[in-house]
Structure 1
Amino acid sequence: MLLTRAHSHNDYWRSRPLWDALECGFCSVEVDIFLHEGVLKVGHEWHELRAEHTLQALYLEPLRQRARQYRGAIYPEAPFFQLLIDLKTDWQATYPVLRKVLEQYADLITHHEGARVHRRAVEVVLSGSRPPVSVLRRERIRFASYDGRLNELEAGYPPALMPLVSDNWLAHFRWNGRGDCPQSEADKLKQIVQQVHSKGYKLRFWNTADLPTVWQLLWQSGVDFIGTDVPTLLRDFMQGQLKG
């Protein structure tokens, strides 16, 4: 079953990066990258980096092969697939290298040329040490979009440039899934969802507890991407919601 709202947080920690998420039907995965000796390596901390764990080897090449298998899609029935790339090293050094890599996957990655959009199987969104919107706007051909924050809702960025708004759950809410969620916090979440959607953006939170009580609140409130470190558990939860 396709799970368009399921997001694999720090996906590279899975026993089989990318593939565990794909087998669960997830439509969004998150990967952290470091620029190390001129190469984009995947990991959460410096000590985790391995020579063979590059962005290309773990994600871009497998996604390319998958898209070729399914005639230009990651899933035959999927409207999109999101690759959220979190830059862990300074964007001024990292992004130029990343951009050159993404250019080599024009057959795989959606890219923007002025007002024209070349739709492909994967949409790349940049998080972490993101290049400023002004940098992305100046590009003649843009292969990645910007992951905004709630304090940027009034900046007026078009959804084509900033399709996603992500923020730290703990910066806005105290409830962690234990006991009943205070009504004031449930109401606040619904208000945030409404504000984000009114601008044409999608919404994601990080630092949410991996608990069904939290997933239930996020699901019912209309949060677009629900993250997890345990894909099989979120899969089972979402399948239950979709089956009614």
Structure 2
Amino acid sequence: MRHLLLLIYSLIHSFAHSHVAAAQPQVFAHNDYEKPQPLTAAIAQRADYIEADVFVRNGQLVLAHTPAEADTAKRTLENTYLTPIVALFTRYKDRVSPDRRYTFSLSIDVKDKVDDVLPILRTLLEKNLMVFNRNFSPTAIRIIISGNRPRPEQLLDYPLFFTFDGRPSELYDDETVKRVALISDNFRSYARWDGTGELPDDDKAKLKRIIKRAHEAGCPIRFWNAPDNPVAWKQLRKLGVDVINTDKVAECTAAVK
């Protein structure tokens, strides 16, 4: 059974990574938990990735951007995301919406020590593996660990339902890269462009090198901290960026899809 699951996982991963250079970018709902309608608004816009930042407080994964916010946070990953997602899968019979083709990745940005967060997260996910394990179903919600992550050589030590947000600076072998859902990096590490006018040639050249490196590894790429407007989305799309990081999900989706 284990060998069969590994084979299925490998096929799904190969199919997904064979489409990293698609003409239509995917949309990443940045810091979705801070929005007036977390989860539901992003699903309504068919966001491809939905992000939640987590800290550990009193044995729970709370949603917050800073330690100070975490100390007073009331909302948890479980009650804001996991439980509602399970309810949607019950309502729509093993999918998150009436659209049979739609699913998304839940990107969990770990703000605390990863060794404190992942055991709690694993326990929560194992309650509903048919919902959160894409190895079982192509419509399941893929879990991506971002922020504070295990080192590359540790990725294979984690259950297959954990995938990871990679970095261009990290080296992955043929097996480890199968656990990398996408490559992400800080736009400002390569460009100072403010999102108006044309992207300078020097910035384009730097970004293209990083994009090419990610694609050669078989991974889609995302830049955080990039300008977040229609001009920037168009420029990033032309460069071959696969996943557009945005706080303006509805506008971005309308512009790129």
TM surpasses 0.5: yes
Q: Distance in 2 between matches of 1:10 and 1:19?
A: 14
Q: Is contact 2:63-2:73 (8 Å) kept?
A: no
SS in 1 for 2:123: helix
Which residue type is aligned with residue 69 of structure 2? E
Structure 2 gap segments, 5+ residues each: 1-23
Q: Give matches, 1:33-182, under 5 Å.
A: 33-49=54-70, 52-75=74-97, 76-78=99-101, 80-110=103-133, 117-119=135-137, 120-139=139-158, 141-153=159-171, 155-156=173-174, 158-182=176-200
SS in 2 for 1:105: helix
Higher percent of residues as helix: 2
Which residue type is aligned with residue 191 of structure 1? R
Shift in Å at residue 78 of structure 1?
3.1
TM-score (norm 2): 0.81
Q: Is contact 2:46-2:102 (8 Å) kept?
A: no
Q: Distance in 2 between matches of 1:128 and 1:94?
A: 11
Q: Deviations over 1:46-77 (max 9, x none)?
A: 33345541111111111112223333222424
Q: Is contact 1:133-1:146 (8 Å) kept?
A: no
Q: Deviations over 1:89-145 (max 9, x none)?
A: 11122221122112122021126xxxxx32351101101111234443124x43211
Q: Give 1:14's aligned residue.
A: 35
Q: Give 2:204's aligned residue.
A: 186
Deviates more, 1:19-28 or 1:71-80: 71-80
TM-score (norm 1): 0.85
Q: Is contact 1:163-1:200 (8 Å) kept?
A: no
Distance 1:172 1:66, change over 3 A: same
Report which structure shows greater RCO (CA 8 Å, sep ≥6): 2
Deviates more, 1:205-214 or 1:185-194: 185-194
Report sequence identity in percent. Answer: 31
Distance 1:74 1:221, change over 3 A: farther
Q: Which runs of 4+ in 1 moved over 6 A?
A: none
SS in 1 for 2:122: helix
Q: Is contact 1:33-1:87 (8 Å) kept?
A: yes
Higher percent of residues as strand: 1
Query: How much is the aligned-residue C-alpha RMSD, in angstroms?
Result: 2.1
Distance 1:192 1:157, change over 3 A: farther
SS in 2 for 1:151: coil
Q: Give 1:114's aligned residue.
A: none
Q: Distance in 2 between matches of 1:131 and 1:154?
A: 13
Distance 1:178 1:46, change over 3 A: same
Which residue type is aligned with residue 72 of structure 1? D
Q: Give 2:26's aligned residue.
A: 5
Q: Distance in 2 between matches of 1:191 and 1:45?
A: 33
Q: Give 2:241's aligned residue.
A: 223
